[in-house]
Amino acid sequence: MKDLTAHWYPVARSDDLPPRHVFHGLLLGRELALWRADDGYVNVWENRCLHRGVRLTLGHNEGRELRCQYHGWRYANRSAGCTYIPAHPADAPARTICNVTFPMVERYGFVWTGEAPHGEPPAIASLDTGDPFGLRSVPANVEPQVVLDALASYHFVPSSAVPHAGHARSDQASITVSNRGDSWIELTSTHLDGASGDASSTIVFFVQPVDSARSVLRGVLSRSPEPGFALTVLRDHATRLNRFRDALESDARKRPAQEPMVARIGQVSLELSTMPEPSVDGRVGGLASVVVARKREVGEGIASFEFTPVEGRLPTFQPGAHIDVHLPNGLIRQYSLVNGPGEQDRYVIGVKLEPASRGGSSCLHELVREGDVLAISEPRNNFPLRRDSFRTLLIAGGIGVTPLLSMAQALQVSSLDFALHYFAQSPEHVAFPDILEMLGDRLTLHLGLSPVETGSTLRSLLASPGEGENVYICGPGPMLDAARAAAAAAGWPDPAVHFEYFKNTRHLDTSTTFEVELARSALTLTVPEGSSIMEVLRDNGVVVPSSCEQGACGTCVVPVLSGQPDHQDVYLNDSERTAGDRMAICVSRSLTPRLVLDI
Amino acid sequence: MLVDPVVLHEWHPLSALDEVAPGRLHRTLLLGQAISYSRDLDGGPVVWVSELDPSGLVGFAAGAEIDPTTVTDALPTRVKFGYLWTTLGRPDHEIFDIPECDETDRRILNGGSLMVSVSAPRAVENFLDMGHFPYVHTGLLGIEPRTEVVEYTVETTDAQVLAKGCKFYQPVAAASAAGGQVTDYTYRVPHPYCVMLYKSVHADPSRMDVIALFNQPMTEERIRAHNFLAMVDDVSTDNTLRHFQQLIFGQDKTILESQFPKRLPLDPRAETPIRADKSAIHYRRWLSSKGLTYGVIPAA
């Protein structure tokens, strides 16, 4: 018996997938949820949310993400990765939570997929060169192979000979099987009444195996009927196909019932229950190669880079996420993704040329060109966006706008209330004007303000924290410090104030010596003057994920079981510092002779 | 499917007693077995396996007038919480208690029985779940953007799973609710297929409403869900309380019938739990530890 899982089959007509619809497909005993995103991409997913098994066809196609109806989990266009879990609005979901997807090709007016199909869907010369015209798809409670075999005797006349408007025509036509494949058959009808002008028509029928004894016949005429005759031809075939189907079903009922197919339900990935292997240097694992598909200037001294995958798919990101970019000169730099939700075909970053560049921004600006291949890390989100706010205030300074642009697009797509305040030197320094334009009156620009004016504007923006309001701030250090001070003075609760520094400009004091005990690894190590906890751990073979390694990004934050951390990072907020139960081990040290870490 | 000993030697609900007409024949399914029941003229319940219909009743349809005293092989019965319970096995224990039912001012109410095409454990797990309130019971038990499930604690003993300290913002928490409130919940699973909750609704913070779901396993993948109410509410009519409960459960039914597989998978890698699902994780482990197999897909 042939392996049905290795073949491509049509499971929907392209026009079954209008905007914002979720279509229920069936193939080999498996239910599928098909939806077309606003960018035109057709997603073919198993019809089952990995959280609690609820059908995704109950969900909402929000254009860029599919939202499950049971708990509101959001899954990204293309990757099917989970981007948001409403029950835990402050957390970034593990990026490995991903629904089961199947490959997809649109061809001849159908959406094709398969369990694990080889190659491509069938290429059929008559459809490639003609002007294909889809017939009504006809479901039949008949075994797929029986349908396919029987189709050789489907009788029809050429489109030009279909009776119409009282013009009776002879039903005499000779049918030949002009071509056939594993799951399709091509028939050509030639009218025996020589008076017809166009005396032959070709139909290709594809048979979609829904289950062991259920099929869908999907027919395509190789040429559209003459103008004005489309409906007549459709009706003629609908009548013939219904008769054909009824006869087959009548026979099928006389045969013993077949066991239905059972689609294998996979397990969720082990990654969800175990930590992924970190790379050797501890930076976030899972490096991917990407091509610089596009490089363009998006503001004075600001270049944007679009990365597309060399192979496979880009991992799912969430608003606020950053990636490590491994540069040709050996440096590793962190950049926030600017992408809106569901834009999984590429990653976009914005890079400002720093006058005092230490080789990161200058390398990207001057050396990296379109077509270059770079290594990037998987996205890491230490700046997650809550979507349970009554209102969200986004405050950007300069190039700090990048993560906030991603957040703004996510909030806008979900029709959530927000405002973006963007502080920049001049109109020329405003980055990504194309994205900003989409934000309409949600955007307020503050241009060319002095530090004093910036301070007073921040104070007025943050003057009255609303109930259920959250603020996200990203920008240069002094502006961030000012904004945080203004928020604290106005009575914003610490957990409602979210911030991300570009870099840690504090003076790092590495003069102390202390012991760290690793509770889970049962290891005690001495951290000498001049070395960081992370370096000592790494020297002893203990690898903790890290990214910026200067206390700004939060990737290396670990739980503290006892001892008092000497916080030197700019990631944790004041309440988190005071609590002392977490610390960034790339820069922070100990105020007590001994620290116990939960690693 | 063979019925496992845990489920076999357990009491299961068949019907609210006030819906069993004396002298009339009622038919249902329990654990795949056709079951008949009735009440004699004194109101006493009689339950028997339909294959053992007295010869005078063979072929009678539900609703027929019968004389239940002709039944010779009756199954054990209990009447508790206003429901008729029976068993196909030999339970070594009585039905669990709900002490609040003894409070004289409680409104004890049969909230309606609905057939649902799902396993009993899926229905229990949905009852334990708060995260779906804003999406399934929109505008009643939850509303966006207030979607957060805060941390709560779960204690499991051999006898029950107990989830405490649960809180959720609700626009209309109950038929009697005047406006939105953060509702306190305690959940309790005292029986593999029965689940109940305590919830704070009204002016008296020392009292909690009790709502329970007694699931009758008709087959592994089909239930009758009996909604039981023991409310502190001296305003709403019985019908108002029932309508509210049936509105809520009707919303759940759509979701429950869209879950695949219908049986509850106990393999930890079958589905993706989050912290909000702590009570469900405990419930699944508790079922596993009992060795229960009916209505679940046991872990390999």
**Cβ partners under 8 Å of residue B238, min gap 6:** B107, B109
* Amino acid letter, residue A76: A
For the stretch B37-91, pLDDT in tens is 999 988 899 999 998 888 878 888 899 999 998 898 999 999 999 999 999 999 9
CB–CB of A333/A325 below 8 Å? Answer: yes
- Average pLDDT in chain A: 90
Say yes or no: B259 contacts chain A, CB-CB below 8 A: yes
Q: Do B272 and A54 touch (CB under 8 A)?
A: no
Q: Which residues does chain B have within 8 Å of residue A270's beta carbon, measured at their own beta carbons?
A: 269
Lowest mean pLDDT among A14-28, A109-123, A159-173, B83-97: A159-173
Q: Would you say A114 and A27 are in contact if contact means Cβ atoms under 8 Å apart?
A: yes
Helix (H, G, I), strand (E, B), or coil: what is residue A458? Answer: helix
A478 has pLDDT over 90: yes
User: Are the CB atoms for B74 and B66 separated by under 8 Å?
Assistant: no
CA-to-CA distance for A598 and B68, rounded, in angstroms?
67
CA atoms within a 13 Å half-sphere pointing along the CA-CB vector of A92: 18
Q: Work out whether the CA dihedral A84, A88, A90, A93 comes out positive or negative.
A: negative
User: Using the beta-carbon criterion (under 8 Å), do A88 and B275 form an inter-chain contact?
Assistant: yes
Show residues of chain A in contact with B271, CB under 8 Å: 50-53, 268
Report pLDDT for A270.
57
Residues in A 471-490 with any Cβ partner in B closer than 8 A: none
Per-residue pLDDT at B235: 87
For residues A412 and B205, which has the higher predicted lDDT (pLDDT)? A412
Contact assessment for residue A282 and residue A538, using Cβ atoms and an 8 Å cutoff? yes
Instruction: Return the residue of B nearest to A467 by Cα.
Output: B146
Return the H-helix or E-strand segment holding A356. Answer: none
Q: How confident is the model at residue A453 (pLDDT cuts 50, 70, 90)?
A: very high
In tens, the pLDDT along A232-272 reads 999 999 999 999 999 999 999 999 998 999 888 887 765 55
**Does B255 sit within 8 Å of A72, measured CB to CB?**
no
Distance between A267 CA and the closest CA of chain B, angstroms: 5
* E strand residue ranges, A95-248: 105-107, 110-113, 133-134, 138-140, 173-180, 184-191, 200-211, 214-221
**pLDDT for the residue numbered A1:** 45
**Bridging pattern class, strands A565-566 and A391-397:** unpaired
For A268, phi then psi, to 5°, come to: -70, 155
Structure tokens at A551: 């206390």
Please state the rounded mean pLDDT for residues A550-554.
85
- Say if residue A79's pLDDT is above 60: yes
Nearest residue of B to residue A68, measured between CA atoms: B135
* Chain B environment of A389 (Cβ under 8 Å): 145
- Quick one: pLDDT at residue B273? 85
Confidence (pLDDT) at A282 = 44
Q: What band does A278 get if pLDDT is binned at 50, 70 and 90?
A: very low
Q: Is B274 on the interface with A (CB under 8 A)?
A: yes
Q: Inspect the interface and report whether the beta carbons of B271 and A50 lie closer than 8 Å.
A: yes
Beta-carbon separation of B131 and A273 below 8 A: no
Q: B147 and A416: CB-CB below 8 Å?
A: no
CA distance A320 to chain B (A): 19
B144 to A69: CB separation less than 8 angstroms, yes or no: no
Q: How far is B96 from chain A (nearest CA, A)?
A: 29
A72: nearest CB among B130, B147, B267 = B147
Rounded distance, CA B233 to CA B222, Å?
Answer: 33
Tell whether B255 lies on the interface with A, counting CB pairs under 8 A: yes
Cβ-Cβ contacts under 8 Å between A and B: the total is: 92
Q: Rg of the Cα trace of chain B?
A: 19
**How confident is the model at residue A284, as a pLDDT?**
46
B264 vs A contacts (CB less than 8 Å): none
- Start-to-end CA distance of chain B, whole Å, equals 17
Q: What residues of A are in contact with residue B269 (Cβ under 8 Å)?
A: 267-268, 270, 272-273
Q: Which of A26, A31, A54 would best serve as a mutation to test chain B binding (most B beta carbons within 10 A)? A: A54
**Considering only alpha carbons, which residue of chain B is nearest residue A264?**
B261
Chain B contact present for A56, CB below 8 A: no
**Which two three-digit tokens encode residue A508?**
């790092």
Mean pLDDT of the region A414-443: 95
Q: Is B275 on the interface with A (CB under 8 A)?
A: yes
Which one of B268, B271, B276 has the shortest CB-CB distance to A88? B276
Candidates B136, B266, B274, partner chain A, best to mutate (most A CBs within 10 A): B274
User: Would the pTM of this model clear 0.90, i.e. be above it?
Assistant: no
Per-residue pLDDT at A312: 82
Residue A150 has pLDDT above 90, yes or no: yes
Residue holding tokens 């509850």?
A: B264
Question: Nearest-CA neighbor of B85 among B99, B95, B73?
Answer: B95
Is A72's CB within 8 Å of B270's CB?
Answer: no
**Interchain pair B271, A51: CB under 8 A:** yes
DSSP-derived pairing of the beta strands B181-191 and B161-170: antiparallel
- CA–CA distance, A585 with B72 (Å, rounded to integer): 77
A29 touching B, CB under 8 A?
no
Cβ neighbours of A59 in B, within 8 Å: none
Q: Which residues of chain A are within 8 Å of residue B260 when distances are taken between CB atoms?
A: 31, 47-48, 53-55, 265
Query: Quick one: CA dihedral B113, B117, B119, B124, positive or negative?
Result: negative
β partners of residue A376:
A288, A325
Residue of chain A whose Cα is closest to the Cα of B270: A267
Taking only the tens place, the pLDDT of each residue in A279-313 is 344 444 567 889 999 999 999 999 999 999 988 88
B150 Cβ under 8 Å from any chain A Cβ: no
Question: Which residues of chain B, if any, have pLDDT below 70?
Answer: 1, 203
Instruction: Judge: B148–A89 Cβ closer than 8 Å, yes or no.
Output: yes
Residue A541 CB: number of other CB atoms within 10 A? 8
Q: Please measure the distance between the N-terminal and C-terminal CA atoms of chain A and give it in whole angstroms.
A: 53
Does residue B44 sit at the A interface (CB-CB below 8 Å)? no
Tell me whether residues A388 and B258 touch, CB distance under 8 A.
no
Scan residues 257-296 of A and list those with Cβ closer than 8 Å to B.
Answer: 265, 267-268, 270, 272-273
**Which of B124, B255, B260 to mutate to probe the A interface, most A CBs <10 Å?**
B260
pLDDT band at A507 (very low <50, low <70, confident <90, very high): confident
Task: Tell me which chain A residues have a C-beta less than 8 angstroms from the C-beta of B274.
Answer: 51, 85, 87-88
Q: What is the mean pLDDT of residues A174-194?
A: 89
Among candidates A31, A72, A88 on the partner chain, residue whose Cβ is nearest the Cβ of B274 = A88
Largest CA distance in chain A: 103
Residue A574, pLDDT score: 87
| CA separation for the pair A224, A233 (Å, rounded) | 9
Q: How far is B132 from chain A (nearest CA, A)?
A: 5
Sequence-distant (6+) residues with CB within 8 A of B43 are B22
pLDDT given at position B118: 98
Out of A54, A87, A390, name the one closest to residue B147 (CB): A87
CA distance to partner chain B, nearest, from residue A493 (Å): 18
Strand order in the sheet with B83-86: B12-16, B83-86, B77-80
Q: How far is CA A94 from the centre of its chain?
A: 13
- Cβ contact, residue pair B259, A54, below 8 Å: yes
Contact B255 A88 (CB under 8 A): no
